[in-house]
Structure 1
Amino acid sequence: MQEVAAIEIKNLAIGLPEMMEYGDGKKMKTAIRKKTVNKVFLSKESFHGDGVADLKHHGGPDRAVCIYPYEHYALWEKEFGKPLPTSAFGENVTATKLTEDEVYIGDIYRLGETVIQVTQGRVPCHTIDRNLEGTPLLKAMVRTGFTGFMCRVLKEGFVTADSKLELLEQHPQEVSVLYTNQVFFHEPKNIEGIRRILAVAELADEWRDKFETRLDKLLASR
């Protein structure tokens, strides 16, 4: 089990949808450009003052909190040769020692006054590239599985920039975010992998539906 004291919040951010210009004068409504805050209330739905523009693909109780590993920033900055802004991936919490290979679906963490639970990997979209002026991070995130992850809120409360983030309960089935990303993005016909993921009761409903649909089609085609 990881050292609790080693986890550190590097940035806490929220943001509501606003018009963003990108490319050659194009515009879109998005909440990816989040602003750093010192204190914010986290409800079952989201951080207060936080929101999404695309309700079909983002938001909801299973995706109330987005966390991205701080360690990946150095990797991407080196790969693409440019500095990245804070909350570059639209995450609410940028934290150390929470990479996808060591975080399991169903893990429970204390975040300030709140308690949160990991539900799924984050599904990156083209908005990330548009926000970062065409830097092709979308494909790189999918290739590596370094997507960050989403959480539901088990207990509401305030979170501050200097809050403690600590592991309360590690899920016994040990299905990592990185593993679910690998199967989701790169192994669409991995029946045993899909079954292993579906065995985790705490998996986000949307991902459960997608994996169940995929499994049904695979079994039907046998």
Structure 2
Amino acid sequence: MEPNDAEDWMTGRIVSVNVGMPREHGTEGAAEPMERPWITGFFKDPIVGPVHVGATNLDGDGQADLRVHGGPDKAVLLYAASHYPDWRTELGFAMPFGAFGENLTVEGMAEGDVCIGDVFDVGTARLEVSQPRGPCWKIARRWKIRDLSARVQRTGRTGWYARVLREGTVQAGDTLTLVDRPNLGWTVTLASELLRPGNGREAEAAALAAVPALADAWRAVIEYRLAHGHIGSDEARLVGPNG
């Protein structure tokens, strides 16, 4: 892949910065699995004014399960503001920004526009796109819509993660300016598609795994799939304890 022409480079804008620390939700003894107690940092609230972006988190933000969330490769979660009208139409109610657990709700870009390894300057920080977000059961439990996590995966409205190349501050209204694109064509959408087995695209998946900027966890899943021909069922991730 060659770097793309300057005319193809993009800018976006933060419309909301959202953070939240892990806390318990639910009701002890509830019969319905989705009503039972759980601890999560998924609930995010919009923040007014500058917020510091560190190597693994925004100030005031945290993750409950650090085995699969957070860390340098998943320091910041971005989500396209353009998805919200679609969700409102499909679900019948309006969700606030931050509804999908994202730290930065952004306009002017979505999964099909952003490439693995894209470097953006935003505020005084610098971010590098590392992988798609693999939706999990917590999205469904947050909104008590049993199939919502599966819908997020099916529609491709997943969001994407970024690592922090330069710590700094960001706030709503800041512009995201693309300053480097070393991997033209390796979009977040494509990275999600190539993870799935049985699509006959093993050569492309192997090439994606060789992209240096790809998060190690996403690379490991691709390599496992290529070695074993499968990655197991999605049920544990998309349904989990929701039943």
The verdict on a shared fold, with TM-score over 0.5 as the criterion, is: yes
Q: Residue 124 of structure 1 contacts residue 142 of structure 1 at CA under 8 Å; is this kept in 2? A: yes
Letter in 2 for 1:105: I
In the alignment, the residues of structure 1 paired with residue 156 and residue 204 of structure 2 have an alpha-carbon distance, to the nearest angstrom, of 16
Matched, 1:31 2:41: yes
1:135 to partner: Cα distance: 5.7
Matched, 1:89 2:100: yes
In the alignment, the residues of structure 2 paired with residue 152 and residue 107 of structure 1 have an alpha-carbon distance, to the nearest angstrom, of 11
Deviations along 1:149-178, whole A, 9 cap, x unmatched? 000000001112222211111233420000
1:91 to partner: Cα distance: 0.2
Residue 122 of structure 1 is matched in structure 2 by: 133
Match of residue 63, structure 1, among 52, 74, 80: 74
In the alignment, the residues of structure 2 paired with residue 55 and residue 106 of structure 1 have an alpha-carbon distance, to the nearest angstrom, of 23
1:89 to partner: Cα distance: 0.4
Unmatched 5+ stretches in structure 1? none
Q: Residue 73 of structure 2 contacts residue 130 of structure 2 at CA under 8 Å; is this kept in 1? A: yes
The aligned length equals 216
Residue 59 of structure 2 is matched in structure 1 by: 48
Q: What TM-score, normalized to structure 2?
A: 0.83
Q: CA RMSD in A?
A: 1.7
| Percent sequence identity over aligned pairs | 33
Residue 15 of structure 1 is matched in structure 2 by: 20
Deviations along 1:52-89, whole A, 9 cap, x unmatched? 00111100000000000011111111112111122000
Matched, 1:146 2:151: no
Residue 83 of structure 2 is matched in structure 1 by: 72
Deviations along 1:109-133, whole A, 9 cap, x unmatched? 0111000000000011111111112
Q: Residue 195 of structure 2 contacts residue 221 of structure 2 at CA under 8 Å; is this kept in 1? A: no
Q: Residue 67 of structure 1 contacts residue 94 of structure 1 at CA under 8 Å; is this kept in 2? A: yes
Deviations along 1:8-62, whole A, 9 cap, x unmatched? 2111011110112278441100011111112211111111211100111100000
Letter in 1 for 2:40: T
Match of residue 193, structure 1, among 204, 212, 236: 204
In the alignment, the residues of structure 1 paired with residue 51 and residue 199 of structure 2 have an alpha-carbon distance, to the nearest angstrom, of 39
Q: Residue 75 of structure 2 contacts residue 161 of structure 2 at CA under 8 Å; is this kept in 1? A: yes
In the alignment, the residues of structure 2 paired with residue 191 and residue 176 of structure 1 have an alpha-carbon distance, to the nearest angstrom, of 17
Unmatched 5+ stretches in structure 2? 1-7, 230-243
Q: Which 10-residue stretch deviates more, 111-120 or 176-185?
A: 176-185
Matched, 1:172 2:183: yes
Q: What TM-score, normalized to structure 1?
A: 0.91
1:85 counterpart SS class = coil
Q: Residue 9 of structure 1 contacts residue 162 of structure 1 at CA under 8 Å; is this kept in 2? A: yes
1:196 to partner: Cα distance: 2.3
Q: Residue 142 of structure 1 contacts residue 185 of structure 1 at CA under 8 Å; is this kept in 2? A: no
